[in-house]
Structure 1
């Protein structure tokens, strides 16, 4: 398996690019790339040429996360201004504006069916679940306090929730916290199940395997990438190679490879059979905040693609070939 650089766009945004995701293809158009930046904008790009399709304004502070609905029709952007803006991908019309208290919107993701938008709640130590039919708050999943902490401890539960990931069957939601713990929830019952241990620094990104709903990959500031059995609560493997914080992780659609982005300015490709990095890309000149494999599907789309975004304001597109 390997990555080959296809194209890079310098100064794709005016400030650091902190978020990237793929908008699935629809009958009318191919998949698009969505990027969010500290320049307060969200941009849409055509997939293989990285040609700018549109620029969305509407936030008054930097954009920290973007998420695409599985239908490819709508997407959402979350900003440091504490708003989540839900918009029509093709017209940029605002569909809903979700408001949160300050520092309570971080990473977010639609569930596989597209009925719920999960938003990591930052300082509220929770994940908010929004019903995508009504855009009303459907549930709040609270991360429990660490054992032994007193209710009077400053900083609430001592948890600050940074990242969220849905299992491919939509039954589980995982969230990563500033203190390194990962909490697993049963979504249908809105019930906390257990924590996964092993990281001791912030978990800014996590993703379930698309081929096994039990397997969860987590990336941490401790420079390691962990592979968990999220149901059995066990650490299956730990992968090391980055020399600084691992800011982003994504898994290939066939479930055989991982890509990671790090503050060591590199993108790494990991072979999950070997549980080792097989390639390091060094085209960015600053922290790599986002990596994302393009989902399969759409007409004329054969090859695998990976994208990375960075503090250096650039976007890089790679050809990914699996085994």
Structure 2
């Protein structure tokens, strides 16, 4: 089986350096952050820049968008976290997470994730823990809870489940931790990967978690299955086919397909039921981020996605036979 995806559009004003994270919002806009320090908001039908902010002096590496497409949370490599109102263009929250002195010292955030229910966001960094912060404009960034993984290993990415009940953490040593946000406790540990986990993606029903790793594999986990902590525990499928690190992944809104972007300069589309790649797209450089278009109202189709990578160009792709 094959499923063709065609190049639909390039952005009109590319970033001057690699795109490190990207999101396609429910308002049909695309948000991208780059190593050049900029964040841009694009119209996904024309590729035109709608808004951008003055460049940050250092690269921006992590991005999270609210389900309603109103806000984008983004983070710089030194740990400055900002909340951007996508309707007004204003920064409505800013938190310097890299305080170094006295009892107020905190670790720099590396990856951030907005809680879909609102009110809080999660961050991770060098300690390998997850910190829950206030996302309210009053007291934005204030730490509210620390969720320890029990391992002092660098946190590569944290991501809330769509139902807002859990947050997953990926680490540089290949472990994945899932925390229950009702109890602020560790609920599962997966050791499916042999190398750093670069990217995570949840299914919309919050039952499945996909991980992408430097070991060149993607692993699909069923989080409803109890985890014993043994290698492969909780894994329901291992997807292989990339020839280098897998840097990004996303599960389609209907749960049928998954995307992966790799350092081998390709994007793959995976049929999750068949456990096989159904399309391979050659790109111009390393593909650091991929994101499906949110499901249109009343539709189950996985008709389009967006990608960003080494060359700084935002690219939109559509399934053959769709407009």
- Smaller-chain TM-score range? 0.7 to 0.9
The aligned residue for residue 153 of structure 1 is none
C-alpha spacing 1:108/1:143, structure 2 compared with 1 (3 Å): same
Aligned mate of 2:132, from 129, 132, 137: 129
1:178-200 superposed Cα distances (whole Å, 9 cap, x missing partner): 00000011111110122101101
Q: Does 1:163 align with 2:165?
A: no
The aligned residue for residue 273 of structure 2 is 273
Conserved in 2, the CA contact under 8 Å of 1:36 and 1:64?
A: yes
> SS of 2:83's equivalent?
strand
* 1:64-143 → structure 2 map (5 Å cutoff): 64-101=61-98, 104-119=108-123, 121-133=124-136, 134=138, 135=140, 136-143=142-149
Q: Does 1:188 align with 2:179?
A: no
Conserved in 1, the CA contact under 8 Å of 2:12 and 2:49?
A: no
The aligned residue for residue 230 of structure 2 is none
Output the aligned Cα RMSD: 2.3
Aligned mate of 2:217, from 219, 224, 233: 224
Q: CA deviation at 1:56?
A: 1.1
Distance in 2, Cα, partners of 1:58 & 1:126: 29
Conserved in 1, the CA contact under 8 Å of 2:286 and 2:310?
A: yes
Unaligned runs of 5+ in 1: 26-30, 146-156
Q: CA deviation at 1:88?
A: 1.1
Q: CA deviation at 1:297?
A: 4.1
* 1:262-301 → structure 2 map (5 Å cutoff): 262-282=262-282, 284-297=283-296
Unaligned runs of 5+ in 2: 100-106, 228-233
The aligned residue for residue 103 of structure 2 is none
The aligned residue for residue 19 of structure 2 is 17
Distance in 2, Cα, partners of 1:305 & 1:107: 26
The aligned residue for residue 4 of structure 1 is 6
Q: CA deviation at 1:98?
A: 1.4
Distance in 2, Cα, partners of 1:194 & 1:253: 24
Tell me how many residue pairs correspond in the alignment.
302
Conserved in 2, the CA contact under 8 Å of 1:70 and 1:110?
A: no
> SS of 1:239's equivalent?
strand
TM-score (norm 1): 0.87
TM-score (norm 2): 0.87
Distance in 1, Cα, partners of 2:70 & 2:145: 24
Distance in 1, Cα, partners of 2:319 & 2:188: 35
> SS of 1:91's equivalent?
coil
1:163-210 superposed Cα distances (whole Å, 9 cap, x missing partner): 122223221111100000000111111101221011011111111111
Q: CA deviation at 1:79?
A: 0.5
The aligned residue for residue 208 of structure 1 is 202
Distance in 2, Cα, partners of 1:38 & 1:11: 15
Conserved in 2, the CA contact under 8 Å of 1:104 and 1:124?
A: no
